Amino acid sequence: GELLVNLRGERMLLFDSRAPAGDSFQHIPVLADTIAEYHGRANDETFAKECAFLHDGGYVTTGGDCGHLFVWGKRSGELLLKARGDGAI
């Protein structure tokens, strides 16, 4: 299956847990291949933000500390939408 991970800072990663990689991330062994990385939002003031798949899994989304909603193409990693939310983090 796929695992979408939202990290503190600006990165979100999509892993394929069916394909062991044997690489490491910040000196921690990674047991899955990285499919895509998503950049463009800041998540520095808070740690936990939900992330989700949208529209039959074709897109990924999360919020940022800036109060915006971000949507990326799942496979391309391209930021497709940055929309103003409520402004609360």
Which residue from 80, 36, 32 is spatially nearest to 55, judged by alpha carbons? 80
10-22 pLDDT per residue, tens: 888 888 877 666 6
Average pLDDT over residues 23-40: 74
pLDDT(2) > 90: no
Distance between CA atoms of residues 69 and 60, nearest Å: 11
Looking at residue 58, what is its pLDDT? 94
Quote the mean pLDDT of the chain: 81
pLDDT band with cut points at 50, 70 and 90 for residue 74: very high
32-71 pLDDT per residue, tens: 778 889 988 877 777 667 888 999 999 999 888 888 889 9
Distance between CA atoms of residues 48 and 8, nearest Å: 8
Which residue from 69, 28, 20, 75 is spatially nearest to 49, judged by alpha carbons? 69
Looking at residue 48, what is its pLDDT? 62
